[in-house]
Structure 1
Amino acid sequence: MSVLPLVFTSGWASGINAYAVVLLLGLCGRAGVGGAVPDALQRPEVLAVAGLLFLCETVADKIPYVDTVWDAVHTLVRPACGAVVGALLAGRGDGSLPEVAYAALGGTTALVTHLVKAGTRMAVNTSPEPLSTIVVSVVEDLGVAALVVLALFHPVAAACAAGGLLVLGAATVVFLWRKVRAFLRRRRERRLAAAR
């Protein structure tokens, strides 16, 4: 079985919550679910760190504006994690062309998904109530969990779903960008009015 769909899906999921991807893949591998999970992701210390960081992200991701700061910090972390998971899924560890290609695919997919997530979150944060941030975060977490587990059993279906969600997310960001620009314009006008 080609691991390409699994690399793409894990890259997509890493762009949303990289720690959840490492934790889910590692736990599934330790449970004997999905033979494609590399041993490095199943190590107890990797699972402990991923679990702790997943808890931090779970909290930070549900607080308006804190989530935006968290996303900014993770602009490098999520693509790097997508690339590392992609390379590990290639399974060679020798720097071969397939390993580099899978790392590039995982990292690039994670970066694009991360940018879509960050853009969507900026738009969501313009709403005056915090409930929308919590709802979006929970939906993202459930989507990551569902697609990572699906990818272990039906990698092609999971990759198709991840691709569809990526396109839908990009379209949503384009649609919501006007809302973000209006919010930033209002904030700038308030600052100018307060400075007078």
Structure 2
Amino acid sequence: MSVLPLVFTSGWASGVNAYAVVLLLGVFGATGLTDEVPASLQRTDVLVVAGALFLCEAVADKIPYVDSAWDAAHTVIRPVAGAVVGALLAGQSGSLSDLTAGAVGGSTALISHFVKAGTRMAINTSPEPFSNIVMSTAEDLGVGTLVTFAIFYPEVAAVIAGVLLLLGLVIVLFLAHRIRRFMRRRARRREEKRLAGAGLGPPPG
């Protein structure tokens, strides 16, 4: 059976929460629920690090503006994680080349990452913090549910991931004006901090 649907789904999920993907796949492999997961993802040290980083993301991802900073820092990490996980899954299965799987997983993760980051920018234009908490919790539950579903029904999970990816792109395009407003606000705050910092210096002689 081709591992491509699992690679695609794990790529989508990696763009949302790469640490949760590594943790879940590693646990599923270590507990014997699937033989699709390579031993490298089942190692205790990998699971411990992934678990610790997942907890960090679970907190940072629910704080307004901190979530966007976290997303910016993971612009490279998430696509790389999607590519590496995809290549490892392909190597374990042998039904797909590592290069193809890495390209699929990495590109899918990159797109879903930009959807997530763009959506958060739009949400951060709202003055209340509850929408961040709701969205972050929904994303965590969605990743956990879909990755688990992909282990048993990979084709169906891949279709769902594809629909979510397209829907996310449509939403981000619809919210583009809010995202631009968020970027302008952040640039203005940086400029205000720069000017305030300059005002604290000694007066010109």
* TM-score, normalization by structure 2: 0.87
Pair 189,3 (structure 1): closer, same or farther in 2 beyond 3 Å: closer
Pair 100,186 (structure 1): closer, same or farther in 2 beyond 3 Å: closer
Q: What is residue 28 of structure 1 aligned with on the other side?
A: 28
Q: How many residues are aligned here?
A: 192
Once the two structures are TM-superposed, the CA of residue 178 in structure 1 deviates from its matched residue by 1.4
Q: Which amino acid counterpart does residue 153 of structure 1 have in structure 2?
A: F
Pair 134,71 (structure 1): closer, same or farther in 2 beyond 3 Å: same
The answer to whether residue 34 in structure 2 is matched with residue 6 in structure 1 is no
Q: Whole-Å Cα distance in 2 between the matches of residues 80 and 144 of structure 1?
A: 17
Whether the 8 Å contact between 2:81 and 2:106 is mirrored in structure 1 is yes
Q: Whole-Å Cα distance in 1 between the matches of residues 136 and 8 of structure 2?
A: 21
Q: Whole-Å Cα distance in 1 between the matches of residues 181 and 105 of structure 2?
A: 34
Q: Whole-Å Cα distance in 1 between the matches of residues 73 and 92 of structure 2?
A: 30
Once the two structures are TM-superposed, the CA of residue 186 in structure 1 deviates from its matched residue by 6.4
Pair 139,93 (structure 1): closer, same or farther in 2 beyond 3 Å: closer
Q: Whole-Å Cα distance in 1 between the matches of residues 182 and 79 of structure 2?
A: 28
Whether the 8 Å contact between 2:10 and 2:86 is mirrored in structure 1 is yes
Q: What is residue 58 of structure 1 aligned with on the other side?
A: 58
User: More displaced, 103-112 or 85-94?
Assistant: 85-94
Pair 121,86 (structure 1): closer, same or farther in 2 beyond 3 Å: same
Once the two structures are TM-superposed, the CA of residue 37 in structure 1 deviates from its matched residue by 1.0
Whether the 8 Å contact between 2:36 and 2:93 is mirrored in structure 1 is no
The 3-state SS of whatever aligns with 1:91 is: helix
Match runs of 1:158-169 below 5 Å: 158-169=157-168
CA displacement, residues 94-131 of structure 1 (integer Å, 9 cap, x when unaligned): 9xx81111011100100010011000000001111000
Q: Whole-Å Cα distance in 2 between the matches of residues 111 and 183 of structure 1?
A: 21
After superposition, the CA RMSD in angstroms is 2.2
Unaligned runs of 5+ in 1: none
Q: Which amino acid counterpart does residue 158 of structure 1 have in structure 2?
A: A
Match runs of 1:54-93 below 5 Å: 54-91=54-91
Q: Which segments of structure 1 move beyond 6 Å, counting only runs of 4 or more?
A: 186-192
Q: Whole-Å Cα distance in 2 between the matches of residues 30 and 113 of structure 1?
A: 27
Whether the 8 Å contact between 1:87 and 1:93 is mirrored in structure 2 is no
Q: What is residue 171 of structure 1 aligned with on the other side?
A: 170
Q: What is residue 135 of structure 1 aligned with on the other side?
A: 134
Q: Which amino acid counterpart does residue 99 of structure 1 have in structure 2?
A: D
Unaligned runs of 5+ in 2: 196-205
Q: Which amino acid counterpart does residue 40 of structure 1 have in structure 2?
A: S
Whether the 8 Å contact between 2:16 and 2:112 is mirrored in structure 1 is yes
